[in-house]
Amino acid sequence: MIWMIKHKTNYAVTLVSAALIVIVFTILMCLLLREKNNNKATESQTDENNTSYIQTDNKTDFSITYDFYYTTETLEGEKLEEMLNADPDGSCTVNDDKCREYVDYLADKYDTFGKDRKFHATLQGDIIVPNSDDAVYGWQIDREKTCEELVKMLKAGKTVESCEPVYYDNGYGYVYDGVKSARSADDDIGETYVEIDLSAQHLWVYKNGEITYQCDIVSGQSTSITTLTLPGVYKLWYKGQNYPLNGSNADGESWSTTCNYWNLVSVCGIGLHDTVYRNAFGGDEYRYNGSKGCINMPLDGAKYIYEEVALGTPVVMYYSEEQYREFGLRDQ
């Protein structure tokens, strides 16, 4: 009898233990299923966040518009999609190579720096002003920095209604750009500029298409390419008063002087300034008694440029076709 009671008791304990195991197993399975469902919901939300700017039809729902003042370029649709790589986890990364290709396209299409330009000269009529190393007027996109900004905008995934490329800066205050209001598909000089006919040794100031000042000048001495004033479109970008000038002659002898009005138009030291020690301007003075490359002017002329001509104004310098060949600036 005692054995039977003990046996039944063990049997009951076994049943209870089995039941507890089933209950614990069931609870664990429920918890695992709940965790799995929560993970799926989190992943779904993450995917939605990572692709928030990619629509279900695989079309981007934002755009980036670059402003070039006379026209715009809008990056959108398939061209924009090419710059975004969709990853398996639903996130998107930016294709740097495609960004660089697009910035190269903008620069090749809209840069004017370093190019020859059509120009209507006062005495010579319609001419082509050749580029030279000294003349640095014009628009030049900084491709690296513009690409960096484009990548940032693509990562943000928001519409940018208007932005500008980053233009190159030489680090010394000179930005490779031009007059915004003068920019068009065929021109970036406009109707306000300084014109210097190096063959006629004469300068004009035009404002809104009208001559407001003119005078004779003396440019760089033509006996050496190292002193000859090179043609091209320059830019007035710095002014100073009582400005010291110094250098050395071909024989190594140093010299120094001071001008009252200094108007810098290049990044290599060429400026428009008064030369009070000169008694004559114009004519053939530049052939045998020219400057070291600067444009020498009467005092009132340099003062007019300093006081009346705005920084950023284009300064157009050119020779006649005959003198281009004479000085070796054109192919024979």
> pLDDT of 189-239, one tens digit each?
999 999 999 999 999 999 999 999 999 999 999 999 999 999 999 999 999
pLDDT of residue 323: 95
pLDDT of residue 153: 95
Structure tokens at 308: 């009346």
In the chain, what percentage of residues exceed pLDDT 70? 80
Query: Given pLDDT bands bounded at 50, 70 and 90, which one contains residue 280?
Result: very high
Q: What is the mean pLDDT of residues 122-144?
A: 95
Q: Domain map of the chain by residue range?
A: 119-139+179-326
Q: Could you tell me the fold of the domain covering 119-139+179-326?
A: L,D-transpeptidase catalytic domain-like (2.40.440)
Query: Given pLDDT bands bounded at 50, 70 and 90, which one contains residue 44?
Result: very low
pLDDT of residue 46: 39
pLDDT of residue 55: 41
Q: Which residue has the higher pLDDT, 131 or 25?
A: 131
Q: What is the mean pLDDT of residues 148-169?
A: 95
- Kindly tell me if the per-residue pLDDT of 151 is higher than 60: yes
What is the chain's length? 332
Structure-token match 């009529």, residue found: 125
pLDDT of residue 250: 58
In the chain, what percentage of residues exceed pLDDT 90? 69
Query: Given pLDDT bands bounded at 50, 70 and 90, which one contains residue 50?
Result: very low
- Kindly tell me if the per-residue pLDDT of 309 is higher than 60: yes
DSSP 58-120: S-BS--EEEE-SS-EEEE-HHHHHTTEEEPTTS-EEE-HHHHHHHHHHHHHHH--TT--EEEE
Query: Given pLDDT bands bounded at 50, 70 and 90, which one contains residue 270?
Result: very high
- Reported pTM: 0.80
Q: What is the mean pLDDT of residues 27-44?
A: 53
Check if the beta carbon of residue 214 is closer than 8 Å to that of residue 301.
no
Structure tokens at 40: 């799926």
- Kindly tell me if the per-residue pLDDT of 20 is higher than 90: no
Q: Cα-Cα-Cα-Cα dihedral of 53, 81, 105, 155, to 10°?
A: 30
pLDDT of residue 11: 46
pLDDT of residue 256: 86
